[in-house]
Structure 1
Amino acid sequence: MIQNPYRTSWSASLPADEPTVKCVLERSRRFLGTVLDPNEDEMGVPQLVRYTEGQEYNLHHDWMRIPHAAFDGSPRTFNRVASFFVILQDECVGGETWFPFVKPVSPQLNGNDEGRLWREHEDGGLAFKPLAGNGIFWVNLFPNGTGDTRTVHAGLPVTGGLKTAMNIWPRQYRPNP
Structure 2
Amino acid sequence: MTWTAPQVDRRTEPYVADERTMLQGWLDRHRDTLLAKCAGLTPEQLVQASAEPSNLTLLGLVQHMAEVERSWFRRRVAGQKVAPLHCTEEQPDADFEVLDTATAEARFAELRAEIAAADQAVAHRSLDDTFEMANGETISLRWVYVHMIEEYARHNGHADLLRERIDGVTGE
The normalised TM-score by structure 1 is: 0.26
Greater strand content: 1
The normalised TM-score by structure 2 is: 0.27
Greater helix content: 2
